[in-house]
Chain A
Amino acid sequence: MARKPTTAAKTTVTLLAWGIGLLIFFPILWTVLMSFHSEGDAIKSPWDMLTSVWSFESYAEVQTRSNYALHFFNSVVISVGSTLLALAIAIPAAWAMAFVPGRRTKDLLMWMLSTKMMPAVGVLIPMYLGFKNMGLLDSRLGLVAVMTLINLPIVVWMLYTYFKEIPGEILEAARMDGASLRSEIIYVLTPMALPGIASTLLLNVILAWNEAFWTLQLTTHDAAPLTQFIASYSSPEGLFYAKLSAASTMAIAPILILGWFSQKQLVRGLTFGAVK
């Protein structure tokens, strides 16, 4: 911008932006605040709650009543496991499509994307019955498999858009200098591809962590990740606001932190490179 905004204008914009920002963030902030109060205080009026005694009891209670740690562990296994598996399958594919594109590469990419457009209810019934027959209902293994397949198209696409930006000339230069395919991959390609792989990993852990269709349909308790565990609060007994707040805070905190790191990649990943 050539023109500097006046201080008055900047102050107005600052106030407005902070006001709206706080308003949007408020439900999260409020949940965190509520988690540090007792059940009795949580249903008081907002001001009375804030000025009541702060405590950690809700956090302890969530664990003792329901084995929160198990569901947290399930979420980690399912989101990280499925993402790593998807990466292992997708890296070679994205690599080949970016560096050795064939006539049909574009069609292939589009077809992969089209699998993502299929509504889950279209395949829910065979999946559910199949899982039931194979004894995979409510198992971590089954859920990791489903989540891997769900996110595979996005993983291939993200990696592809990153790999495509690695200039081919560099590879040729390395080859001219006598680098073998092995050293080409280790010393030239890998360092250049790592940032792309890291962002893909991050975004997919987030998507898998928050996935709330298959996790709700295919798990009940043993393999239930946090999405399913939190859903159990929809038919609670007695007072539960503080416990719900504590469970929610713990469920969203890790992903909120990861998410803030991945803001920049988010746009690219979720629009399949259509907006950068």
Chain B
Amino acid sequence: MATQHSRMAARLMVAPSVGLLFVWMIVPLVTTIYFSFLIYNQLYPDRQGWAGFDNYYYFLTDRSFMEAIWNSIVLVGGVLIVTVIGGILLALLLNMPFWGQGIVRIMVIAPFFVMPTVSALVWKNMFMNPVNGMFAHIAKGLGLEPFDFLGHAPMASIIGIVSWEWLPFATLILLTALQSLDSEQQEAAEMDGAGRLSRFIYLTLPHLTRAITVVILIQTIFLLSIYAEIAVTTNGGPGTATTTITYQVALQSLYDNDVGGASAGGIVAVILANIVAVFVMRMIGKNLDA
């Protein structure tokens, strides 16, 4: 089949992709690692030299680091809980026969295609604004006090916005998985007297496990680098209430000009993301063999 000649051609065809990705991944990453060991602040160009592990020490012992980690966990965890549970329920509903399935599907998927800055600003201004937002108007209409969502519950509000963006993704994937469910098995179980709940727990849920895992893993990768939603709504505040690791590193490098410190933070973020990535890769790799 494959001759020496075609193997050679294949290598040439793969080379540009591999080469570019290698450069793209290695050069900046190595530079970041290098910076992370330097005393390098653009505001103080005369102070230079090796920092050793000082940047890491300062970053990791800074109180804001633990806060940022915690905020990242709350944000990612919160969005995962809302989108996975909501996604399962919504997928089960959309999988039932009803009129206008096509249109409802389109409406449900739509938020996924809205750019992050638009969804964040629309929610912030048109809905959550305590004076002119829709929620404030509704509260006033009901005779209640309007609630300042981003001021008093900033993290919950951002979780809400991001969940709105990602619920369609979870729903779509879980719905696709549901559609490949063996209906004969379901009927057999029903004939044997299994109720709705036990059919869901013993047949549907195990069938969905794989899809749920995929949703959790892929969303985690994207959610860990959430940036725009925070930048245009709370700017990481009030205080540091919504500063995640990603946001903190971007802040430190671009606004504090602390290249060394931010680089150390970036490397810490890379290590944390890799822990997640190992699981993702194993999952997808398994599927490649199947």
Contact = CB atoms under 8 A, between A and B. Distances in A.
A22 to B, nearest CB: 7
B244 to A, nearest CB: 10
Contacts of B254: 128, 217
Contacts of B84: none
B20 A13 contact: no
A233 B25 contact: no
B270 A118 contact: yes
A110 B281 contact: yes
B121 A10 contact: no
Given A45-B141, A212-B228, A263 B105 contact: yes
Interface stretch (B44-52, B73-81, B166-174, B192-200): B166-174
B17 interface: yes
Interface bracket on A? 35 or more
B112 interface: yes
Contacts of A34: 126
B224 A272 contact: no
Contact of B117 (A1, A27, A90, A231): A231
Contacts, number: 298
Given A123-B32, A124-B250, A28 B281 contact: no
B224 A119 contact: yes
How would you classify the secondary structure of chain B's contact residues: helix, strand, loop or mixed? Answer: helix
Contact of A27 (B108, B111, B276): B111
B231 A267 contact: no
Interface in B2-50: 2, 6-7, 9-11, 13-14, 16-18, 20-21, 24-25, 27-29, 31-32, 35
B108 A21 contact: yes
Interface in A19-65: 20-22, 24-25, 27-28, 30-31, 34, 43, 45-46
Interface of A: 1-3, 5, 10, 13-14, 16-18, 20-22, 24-25, 27-28, 30-31, 34, 43, 45-46, 89-90, 92-93, 95-97, 99-100, 102, 106, 108-110, 112-130, 149, 152-153, 156, 206, 209-210, 212-213, 216-217, 226-228, 230-231, 233-234, 240-241, 244-245, 248, 251-252, 255-256, 258-260, 263, 266-267, 270-276
Q: Give the 9 A-B residue pairs with the shortest CB-CB distance, closest first.
A: A123-B28, A92-B13, A212-B228, A259-B113, A126-B31, A96-B10, A117-B277, A25-B107, A122-B270
Given A275-B173, A275-B176, 15 more contacts: A14-B100, A93-B18, A120-B246, A125-B262, A212-B115, A231-B232, A240-B125, A241-B132, A244-B121, A244-B125, A248-B122, A252-B114, A255-B113, A263-B105, A266-B172
27 contacts: A1-B97, A10-B99, A14-B98, A24-B167, A28-B110, A45-B140, A89-B20, A96-B14, A100-B7, A113-B284, A119-B246, A121-B250, A122-B266, A122-B267, A122-B269, A124-B253, A126-B27, A128-B253, A128-B254, A152-B17, A156-B17, A212-B228, A227-B115, A231-B231, A252-B118, A259-B113, A271-B214
